[in-house]
Structure 1
Amino acid sequence: MPRWKELPAETSNSERQLLVQLRRLKDHSDLSLAALASRTSYSRSSWERYLNGKKPVPRKAVEELARVCGTEPTRLIVLYDVAERARAEAPAPGRADEPSSPPRSAQSSSPAQDQEQGQEQEREQTPDQDQDRDRDQGQDRDRDRAQESASTLAPASVRPGRTVPLGWMLAAVALAVAVAFGAGVLTARGWDDEAPAEKPGPVAAGAGYLRGQTYKCAVRRQDGELRAGHSDTREMLLDINSTGFDVVEAQCLLREKGFSPGVFDGLYDERTKGAAKKFQQAHHLVVDGIIGPDTWRELRR
């Protein structure tokens, strides 16, 4: 069986868990991507993009994959909902506010030709070119601001056609750059103040996690539930190869409940999964070794 490609580094933890489960389900069914395409409403190239993390997998595709493989889709839908919520809470990439006019050639052309050429270029542009165009527009606007500031701050005695002393020119450029940089900082701060505070969630919980480091467990009861101080999640799904502070929290709570995994390094390995299974069996939960909302609820009691 061929090995799967490594998922993109920017793939979130919740999205990664969903794709791992979908890959396992596809592998256990012995169905090729072409076979999936013939039995579902999605093409072979679409399944390749979904399962390799190149494009978010739709909810309908998750349900159809479960149906084709003959499994209950409930757990996969829970994983999908968590990943979808994480994508919705992630900040969207910024875009430029104003489009720029299409580039002109070195030779002169009529207004009708310019309009026709601009419309043709706009039709041929792809999403990636749109992003490059927006980035270039932003750079052009920054240069225009710097030039305007330089012309404003130049001495009154300087007139077109006269030679500008090098010292004056360098001083004006340096001052214009400093003004532009300060304006950018103030604008960024204004945006930060106006933006809503990010809610703590499964993705943000693992910030600052260092793989291979052992963490301390200081379990205490707070607001009527047990907490180890590494994460406050009650719904993150943890399975083999999950990493981060959510895993450290689960390891510490398992030890507190008498089912110690022996390690507290934030890596959900076989030892941690074995301890989770024993805990689930003792509390009459589904014994699958996957820590989800039901297992979290019992761990925090």
Structure 2
Amino acid sequence: MARWKELPGGMDPVVVEFIGQLRRLKDDSGLSLPRLAARTGYSASSWERYLSGRLMPPKAAVEALAAVTGTDPARLMALHETAADSWQRDRPRSDAGEERGVPDRDSVGDHGASGPEPLPMTVAAGPVQRPVTRPMLYLTAAASALAGAAIAVAVLTAVHSQIPTASPRTAAVARPIAYACKDVRKDGAWYAGNSDTSSDTLEVDMSGPEVAELQCLLQRAGISPGGVDGNFGPLTEAAVIGAQKRYHLDVDGQVGPRTWAALRG
């Protein structure tokens, strides 16, 4: 199980509970971050930010995690909605800047009282001619920019209110494959119908029909791998170690030709 770092101080308890639940699901699944990324369609770096409390995961990512781990999504999605609302109100400034691409304050120039000399500008008509300084120009330009931005926001808000809301992004992950054990004796060896390999090396965090075949053979031998889901997690590893002890093999938790031969024999 991963040793997680403490979450940032001052975080809302609802957010802490939600992220803790995500961490437990990830740990219980036995998946590494790269494997989790491959199964959910979200990158390993994104999951690192979600699980470290640096970024609130989107709804689709949470739904994908629930599907991959076989978790009922109802309570998890309700907790996500409450945590997302709290995050929106109280999230740290550093996260807000990271999402919007806001430049650091130190990277923006700032003219003080000893800035450039006033820039003279002659008024075309009228009895009074007075110089206009650069600070005044900066203030006028800033005010114009803010006014323009406010108008743009108002227009976009009005347009957006008339556009139907797009449905959440569906995670690019197929539903977990349902494997079955159809034990058949052929040429003096047992087969479960998922793979006929007797030499492929399997280890923790791998997945696929070969792992499902292994789990079926372990189950047939009376050593429970915790289910047949095609994922080589901690329970499957413990079952492999138990089989290697029973058959007096080298105990390393990995499956090679000798372990295959013992389970198929």
Please classify the TM superposition score into its range, dividing by the shorter chain length: 0.3 to 0.5
Question: Which of these two proteins has the greater Rg computed from alpha carbons?
Answer: 2
TM-score, normalization by structure 1? 0.31
TM-score, normalization by structure 2? 0.35
Q: Relative CO higher for 1 or 2, CA cutoff 8 Å, sep ≥ 6?
A: 2
